[in-house]
Amino acid sequence: MATMTYIEALARGMWEEMERDPTVFLIGEDIGAYGGAFKATKGFQAHFGEERVIDTPLSEAAIVGASVGASLLGLRPVAEMQFADFVTCGFNQMVVNAAKTHYRWGLPVPMVLRLPTGGYIHGGPYHSTSPEAWFFHVPGLKIVAPSTPYDAKGLMKAAIRDNNPVIVLEFKYLYRRLKGEVPDTDYVVPIGKAELRRQGNDLTVVTYGTTTGFVLDAAERLAAEDGMEAAVVDLRSLMPWDKDRVLEAVRQSGKVLVVHEDAVTGGVGAEIAATIASESFRDLDAPVRRVGAADVPVPFAPALEEAVLPDTERILAAMKELARY
């Protein structure tokens, strides 16, 4: 078992799938000789060749559109957006063509769309978007959101093998900050299965992606400072999301906080809170709370970015308030 960074684990997942399946290929801007905007595909073109690691013009619409066409012909494209923000230029191809083809004609669309996502890197309003809510609402798409190197490799491999279009949210803040043990063996993390990262009966926090680490830090401080134990559920997949696992945690604690990096209004947390209120209301001892980004574009200035995005202090404050309810 090797210790890898988050981005190394994502790359390892793609590499293994390309070696296992000759129909898998990569497509995107500067992913060949340059190795990608974040070097996730460094060395891939030299090993697999230009026909399987394809540099494209600066056109996200063409990248996603070509991927949809290739997948309909039996290939398994893995398309990269340099930043998730730019996927808006390929939005029509993804939500109209990719998402609806199976329902329209019953055909598989086995493509992966990689989206380097989120902030905390001082990238400013055009390079820090959390786009999951745009696609969460679209039937026909799957969305995965790994928070560990182990899950990054396993979910990438699961996404490539899936016959549905799958969006892989890659959290840029974690790319080289987070390391973990990753098995050398062939494994997948099932799409749609959450992971209980921490046990606790006083409250439950549901989260995913970058904020998982902040939540775990806050949970340890809550235990040390107030003697309260919080369960932490890492969704890992946003569509489908593991409703059974979340509702089980609700029944155990009766108090729920949903945390994500994306803006609160219309975010994934709103759907989770609504589901809990609808299906597990009698198990609640307090209103479901949410913590997320402010409803503004992510600022460039570090101090303003810190003020907009959720952090450990803000999460801890919400946990303490909920625990006291």
The residues carrying an active-site annotation are 127
The alpha-helical segments, DSSP class H, found in 95-169 are 99-105, 132-136, 149-161
Q: Are strands 2-5 and 179-182 parallel, antiparallel or unpaired?
A: antiparallel
Quote the strand ranges of 72-224, DSSP E: 76-80, 112-117, 142-144, 166-171, 179-182, 195-198, 203-207
Helix axis angle, 211-226 to 312-324, nearest 10°: 50
Of residues 260, 259, 15, 219, the one with CA closest to residue 132: 260
What angle (nearest 5°) sits at the alpha carbon of residue 128, between those of residues 262 and 122? 120
61: Cβ–Cβ under 8 A, 6 or more apart, which residues?
A: 89, 90, 92, 93
Compute and round to an integer the Cα radius of gyration of the chain.
19
| Rounded CA separation 159/9 (Å) | 14
Q: What CA–CA distances, in Å, run from 93 to 48, 66, 133, 136, 246?
A: 27, 9, 17, 16, 32
Of residues 6, 15, 191, the one with CA closest to residue 117: 6
Q: Rounded to 5 degrees, what are φ and ψ at 278? A: -80, -40
